[in-house]
């Protein structure tokens, strides 16, 4: 029977980073992956495909040029689902190749098949052909991720009523789509479809969306969505959903109103992919959403030598943070010191427009009774914004009145997920308002918005 120092179950961002880290420490590592190819949700159904789809939609629709040439501007008329898929396959193949090469270079073994614990430090792996092998290891890392939550009484059919994995296999672009769930995934797809001229209704039982984002940004974002013709049905629950005889679906809301659309995307939550992992055989328990609890510093589970990282442990469920968790878990497993990540990490929402945020929101600063001042810049105040024809986009910074330190940075608009890293560096290095006022920024750039926002705060603060 094969024995390794570390077996990693799942080859998403957490698993792959952990495997490489352990291999670099000289350990023998095996990654077990049940999918057709390595890469995880991140490469095959989540991060990379949705971002590639977004990029393709923005490029082919001419979205970024509409500020200049008007809302009727299109690069390609009659965009089809094939147009969207073409770039997707090329990007995914490239990502997988890079990953396979990385594993090969670092001598990480990969085995294709579904892993299941049969004892505390022993798994069976069943391949596609049904053959079963058994493997043991000193340490295990569970990076099995999540799968879409699918309520039993909803008519999922992979064609007109879909979850967020199935949406990538779209055969035809619908004329209208209703999206249930205004979390990150729902909002991203809603705005992408809207940019493709699909009529979008976004449904959310809560009164608002993306509650962890600064409210001022959300109200700016919400205004933009409504201005583009998106319908937001917030604050009401879905009572019933059914497929219609002709074509399409109908969603009945609790207030008696109904929404008819060609297609429905259900994007309200995901579950830890732990149901068939045989966790009962190694003594690990999950919560009602299939998530595993770990020590927040080491990522070790309740069972010595078995670690878990990535989406299967819950918040923040990002590819970016999953990678760091995997690396720290591998270091801890083999007694290597790993630095702890800083308190604040950036959150990127690849909606159209992008939102990105780090540090405290204005609501959090208020709750903590911290005296503060805000500075705001609009992208249209920058020369780069004029060149790009940007009508929207804002950057908001929150500074402590006592220490003048940057407490939070929040951006909605073109390039927000890249721009945020300036704010991230200043926050995590303990920088103050003076950093932005005293430093020179490239001109013309959108990053100049930092200086404009800082000067806005500076003008309001005591000197």
Ligand X SMILES: Cc1cc2nc3c(=O)[nH]c(=O)nc-3n(C[C@H](O)[C@H](O)[C@H](O)COP(=O)(O)OP(=O)(O)OC[C@H]3O[C@@H](n4cnc5c(N)ncnc54)[C@H](O)[C@@H]3O)c2cc1C
State the minimum distance, in angstroms, from the CB of residue 322 to ligand X. Answer: 4
- Cα distance from N-terminal residue to C-terminal residue, the chain: 71
Which residue number places its CB atom closest to ligand X? 145
Footprint of ligand X (CB under 6 A): 9-15, 32-35, 40-42, 46-47, 50-51, 114-115, 143-146, 164, 185, 273, 277, 310-312, 317-320, 322, 348, 350
Q: Which is closer to ligand X, CB of 79 or CB of 125? A: 125
Picking from 215, 186, 212, 456, the residue whose alpha carbon sits closest to that of residue 344 is 212
Distance of CA 204 to the CA centre of its chain: 19
Q: Which is closer to ligand X, CB of 34 or CB of 139? A: 34
Q: What is the DSSP string of 426-460?
A: HHHTT-BHHHHHHS---SS-TTHHHHHHHHHHHHH
Q: Which is closer to ligand X, CB of 33 or CB of 262? A: 33
Q: Which is closer to ligand X, CB of 299 or CB of 399? A: 299
Distance CA 327, CA 16 (A): 9
State the minimum distance, in angstroms, from the CB of residue 156 to ligand X. Answer: 16
State the minimum distance, in angstroms, from the CB of residue 51 to ligand X. Answer: 6
State the minimum distance, in angstroms, from the CB of residue 123 to ligand X. Answer: 8
Picking from 325, 360, 318, the residue whose alpha carbon sits closest to that of residue 340 is 325
Write down how long the chain is. 463
Coil, strand or helix: which one is 309? coil
Cβ neighbours, 10 Å, residue 192: 26
Q: Which is closer to ligand X, CB of 40 or CB of 248? A: 40
Q: Number of H helices and number of E strands within the chain?
A: 13, 22
State the minimum distance, in angstroms, from the CB of residue 317 to ligand X. Answer: 5
Q: Which is closer to ligand X, CB of 50 or CB of 201? A: 50
Q: Are 449 and 412 in contact (CB under 8 A)?
A: no
Angle between helices 81-105 and 13-24 (to 10 degrees): 20
């Amino acid at each position: 029977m094969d024995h390794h120092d570390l077996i990693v179950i799942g080859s998403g961002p957490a698993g792959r980073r952990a495997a490489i880290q352990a291999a670099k420490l000289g350990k023998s590592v095996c990654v077990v992956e049940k999918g057709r190819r390595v890469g995880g949700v991140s490469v095959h159904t989540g991060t990379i495909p949705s971002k590639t789809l977004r990029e393709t939609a923005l490029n082919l629709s001419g979205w970024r040029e509409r500020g200049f040439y008007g809302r009727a501007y299109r690069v390609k008329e009659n965009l089809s689902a094939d147009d969207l898929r073409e770039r997707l396959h090329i990007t995914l193949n490239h990502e997988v190749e890079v990953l396979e090469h990385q594993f090969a270079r670092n001598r990480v073994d990969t085995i294709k098949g579904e892993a299941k614990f049969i004892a505390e430090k022993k798994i069976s792996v069943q391949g596609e052909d049904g053959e079963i092998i058994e493997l043991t290891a000193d340490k295990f890392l569970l990076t099995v991720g999540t799968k879409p939550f699918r309520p039993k009484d909803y008519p999922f059919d992979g064609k007109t009523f879909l979850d967020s994995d199935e949406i990538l296999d779209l055969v035809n672009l619908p004329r209208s789509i209703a999206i249930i769930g205004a979390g990150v995934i729902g909002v991203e797809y809603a705005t992408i479809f809207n940019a493709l001229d699909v009529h979008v209704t976004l449904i959310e039982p809560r009164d608002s969306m993306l509650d962890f984002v600064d409210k001022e940004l959300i109200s700016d974002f919400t205004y933009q969505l409504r201005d583009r013709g998106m319908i937001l049905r917030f604050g009401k629950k879905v009572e019933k959903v059914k497929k219609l005889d002709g074509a399409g679906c109908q969603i009945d809301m609790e207030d008696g109103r109904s929404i008819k659309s060609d297609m429905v995307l259900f994007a309200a939550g995901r579950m830890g992919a732990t149901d068939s992992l045989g966790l009962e055989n190694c003594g690990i328990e999950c919560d009602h959403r299939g998530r595993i609890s770990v020590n927040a510093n080491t990522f070790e589970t309740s069972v010595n030598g078995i670690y878990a990282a990535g989406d299967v442990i819950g918040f923040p469920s990002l590819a970016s943070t999953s990678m760091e968790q995997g690396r720290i878990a591998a270091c801890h497993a083999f007694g290597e010191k790993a630095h702890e990540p800083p308190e604040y990490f950036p959150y990127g929402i690849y909606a159209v427009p992008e939102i990105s945020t780090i540090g405290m929101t204005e609501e959090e600063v208020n709750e903590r009774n911290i005296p503060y001042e805000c500075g705001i810049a609009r992208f249209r105040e920058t020369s780069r914004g004029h060149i790009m024809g940007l009508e929207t986009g804002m950057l908001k910074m929150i500074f402590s009145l006592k220490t003048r330190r940057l407490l939070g940075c929040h951006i909605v608009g073109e390039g927000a997920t890249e721009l945020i890293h300036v704010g991230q560096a200043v926050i995590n290095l303990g920088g103050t308002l003076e950093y932005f006022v005293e430093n020179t920024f490239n001109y013309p750039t959108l990053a100049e918005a930092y200086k404009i926002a800082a000067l806005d705060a500076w003008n309001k603060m005591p000197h």
